[in-house]
Amino acid sequence: MLDIFITSRVRRKIVVVFAKYPDFKTHARGLATLTKEDPGNIQRELDRLVEGGFLIVTKDGSVKKYQANKQFPILRELQSIVIKCQKGKPSKTIG
């Protein structure tokens, strides 16, 4: 159902991860491993989501860490949508 509104598969996976776990912090390669997606595609979508305000990025030395922006105006609504879309689905992988 979420694929109707978020057409990019990679972006959808990222939104699901950070909507379900807003305190989760990770770097691009870690997220690529978690979602089983190409790191380049993950990085491109992370940049778009930071630009849109959904994610915030902090630097830990030379490594960029990403996490959900808890001040994002529709974060609670996104969390609710993600949870509703995943009810009844077995969770083998993220997304």
Does the model's pTM come out above 0.95?
Answer: no
Q: What is the pLDDT of residues 43-75, one digit of tens each?
A: 999 999 999 999 999 998 999 999 999 999 999
Q: Is the pLDDT of residue 84 over 70?
A: yes
Distances 44 to 7, 77, 86 between C-alpha atoms, Å: 15, 24, 25
Pairing of strands 63-68, 55-60: antiparallel
Domains and CATH numbers, the chain: 2-86 (1.10.10.10)
